[in-house]
Amino acid sequence: MLKSALVTAMAVLVIHGPALAQESEPPADALQAHGERIRDRFIAAVRDCGVEPTFVPAVIVRTSPSLATYSSADRALYLSRYEALPPPIQATMAAWAQNGMLGLDAAGQFAEIFNTLVVPHELGHALQDMWGRQSVLDRWDRETEANRIALAFWSLDPTEAERLPTRVENVTRFLSRLPDPVPEGRSPREHFNTDYQALVADPQAYGWFQGALMQTAWEERDHRGFCDLVRLNAEPAKP
């Protein structure tokens, strides 16, 4: 039951795709303010690295199956409201929270993951968009790098850094238990890049990859700090 509910949600996970077009919800509320605070901290951290962003992404509350995403079309970060989610996704969050690491209820688990922890991941995609880096990275590297940016951002604050291992485990512990979808003789990267559209259509397979991508970024978190990643993206994109 838990696995079935979890992979249903993973089919619409944040870490890919544009938000589906729906009517925007009232903008001036706590969720938008929360997203804007993280966005502002992120942009300030970029500037502290000596890099001036080419734009500041907007924050829009628009509940959709994408849950949270960055859209390059309008340079905006989209967040979803838990109360407006379909019942199956709310049920998934309840099951996830019950077996989670942070003692949160369903709404709290959703807010922790999709409205907080992964927000700098989506802002990492905005960084990739600012100087065209996304055009020179394959899908695997785009997603892994966005995870690295998010983890490095949260690590800037000593209190956040202390909590980060538990927060990452809260996301990955179930995803890593899903069946390994990589065919014999292929690497995870090759399979993800080559068969991406088929994987997106398979909740279990895509969920496994999202867990693997986060775990890869976590294991390589000491390779580059936040400013290193920012400056890497600010370099002219090379084909």
In this prediction, residues 201-228 reach a mean pLDDT of 85
- pTM of this structure: 0.85
- What's the confidence (pLDDT) of residue 201? 75
Write out pLDDT tens, residues 50-60: 999 999 999 99
Q: For the chain, what's the residue count?
A: 239
Using one digit for the tens of pLDDT, what is the confidence trace for 132-182?
A: 998 999 999 999 999 999 999 999 999 999 999 999 999 887 777 778 999
Contact yes or no for 76/60 (Cβ under 8 A)? yes
How much is the pLDDT for 110?
A: 93
Q: Is 229 exposed, middle or buried (0-12, 13-18, 19+ CB in 10 A)?
A: buried
Nearest to 19 by CA among 113, 114, 130: 114
List residues bridging with 68 in a β-sheet. 79
pLDDT at 96: 81
Contact in structure between 8 and 85 (CB atoms under 8 Å): no
Q: What per-residue confidence (pLDDT) applies to 22?
A: 46
Residue 28: per-residue pLDDT: 53
Q: Is the pLDDT of residue 1 over 50?
A: no
